[in-house]
Chains A and B, each alone.
Chain A
Amino acid sequence: MTRTPRPALHVDVHVARGSLHVEAAFDAAPGHPLAIIGPNGAGKSTVLAAIAGLVPLESGAVSIGDRAVGALPPEARRIGVVFQDYVLFPHLDVRDNIAFAARMRGGSRVAARAAAEPWLERYGLTPLAERFPAELSGGQAQRVALARALAAEPEVLLLDEPMSALDVEVRAEMRSELATHVREFGGATVLVTHSTADAAALADSVLVLEAGGVTQRGALADLRAAPATPYVQRMLAAAAE
């Protein structure tokens, strides 16, 4: 887990999702997580899917440092994704979930499992290594999802509503744990959320997406000082309560 200088993520995409057209252009610098925030149906998750290569672009480009990845299939992009409700492999135990990427790179099962060991340890998952996803709590599943994504050694990390599948009682704790892991990762990170609390804890700056377009970008403090739209104003007012 050596720290090499990590590249920035450059995004300028146009995606069609049914009748909704989503256009977003932004950069995410390594070590400075960006939160995409916005109302339901604004196209937040679609932007993440476009960056990861899971939905086709109408037009635009995605690059990591100098490497254009917009035309590459997802498996060649080196972009890690933590999905909403995590989408662990139900037929594999925790160890094999985390070993999955190493296995796909052509390692033997034994070698891939050995490569998963440090991740299990680091995320406190060693006692759960033989469990299957159905036997995990929400918080445990989140840890596995994050470890599984980072074990693939991605250059960019995307998190789609990472807290939404968690019970309210454990959210605050998991939020600070996730913030620590995201800082440790140190690469360009983009997360989607509709919670200003998540954005404040996990991200350095915020991109507001409404009805398929970016309406404001800045630190949360900037948004507070000058909310650009009624939605931003309402969102911040609701968070202040």
Chain B
Amino acid sequence: MTAPTRRLASGPGGRLAWPIAALAAVALALLVLPLLSLVLRAPWADLPRLLARESVLQALVLSFGTALAATAVCLVLGVPLATALARASGWPTLARRLLRAAVTVPLVLPPVVGGIALLQLLGRRGVVGGLLDDWFGIAVPFTTGAVVIAQVFVAMPFLVFAVEGALRTADRRTELAAATLGASRWQVFRHVTLPLVAPGVAAGAVLCFSRALGEFGATITFAGSLPGVTRTLPIASYLAMQSDPDEAIALALLLLAVSITVLVGLRDRWLPGVRG
């Protein structure tokens, strides 16, 4: 079955029909040319000076710090959520679908909507934010913590689905075998389940980190753009575009370099489709 399916669009000898080849070339150009232009127009000579600017370093440190924190939060909370999702087969169908939908929504939602929604929850007059303000005098929005929360909101599904996929393909009987050997539920999770899905967890963490690092819409809505507090690399890059395009390009290059590093790091074990 696989051979005919794979060759569906190609004529004899594996050649593509010309409209398909032409459209594919346009698609590829759309994906590659912008990034190529970015590299070509980069102020390479000025790059060290641009990247050494106080504002750039501030955004860099803030971005990496918050993206790492968001990834840590996603790992601690997302792995259990993925486990619940993968093991929910005994639940009622409606509950299972709602759970899955709840995890999927942030994936398809415009991030700005996520930011506005977070404000309604944790803003000064928000559902929970109001209480936090009244009782403890804590205001969440427009803080570095808010940046992390916004990143967790958008990045969590990446981790959850990567781990859930790994859990689904892992042989459940290894867990049963561990139980017959005296392992408690926690020991089974710690010594069998987790090591078996470790590649999925690692892949999910990397995807989660790169999504958190690139977060813009939810962050600027929920956390604003305070230099050194909430102005992350993407936001700094967007703002610089209006005042100092060279700095914006430098920041964009930096983000591109990180993305490529992530891709290269993932290529061998976790994204076999990317392997050339």
Contacts and interface: CB of A to CB of B under 8 A. Distances in A.
A104 B191 contact: yes
Given A83-B173, A104-B187, A89 B180 contact: no
Contact of A104 (B176, B183, B198): B183
A74 B174 contact: no
B80 to A, nearest CB: 20
Interface in A84-104: 87-91, 100-101, 103-104
Contacts of A52: 180
Contacts of B187: 104
Contact of A101 (B171, B174, B182, B198): B182
Interface in B146-201: 171, 173-174, 176-184, 187, 191-192, 195-196, 198
Contact of B176 (A74, A91, A105): A74
Q: Which residue among B173, B174, B177 has the maximum number of chain A CB atoms within 10 Å of its CB? A: B177
Contacts of B183: 75, 100, 104
- Looking at chain A's contact residues, is the secondary structure mostly helix, strand, loop, or mixed? mixed
A104 B171 CA distance: 20
A149 B182 CA distance: 10
Nearest to A74: B179
- What's the interface size class on A, roughly? 20 to 34
A100 B181 contact: yes
A52 B178 CA distance: 12
B181 A152 contact: yes
A81 B196 contact: no
A54 interface: yes
Contacts of B192: 89
Nearest to A96: B191
Contact of B173 (A75, A87, A101, A149): A87
A79 B181 contact: no
Contact of B174 (A87, A104, A149, A152): A87
Given A87-B174, A90-B196, A91-B196, A81 B180 contact: yes
Nearest to B192: A89
Given A87-B173, A103-B191, A75 B196 contact: no
Contacts of B173: 83, 87
B180 A54 contact: yes
Interface of A: 52-54, 73-75, 77, 79-81, 83, 87-91, 100-101, 103-105, 148-149, 152
8 contacts: A75-B182, A79-B180, A89-B192, A104-B178, A104-B187, A105-B182, A149-B181, A152-B182
Interface of B: 171, 173-174, 176-184, 187, 191-192, 195-196, 198
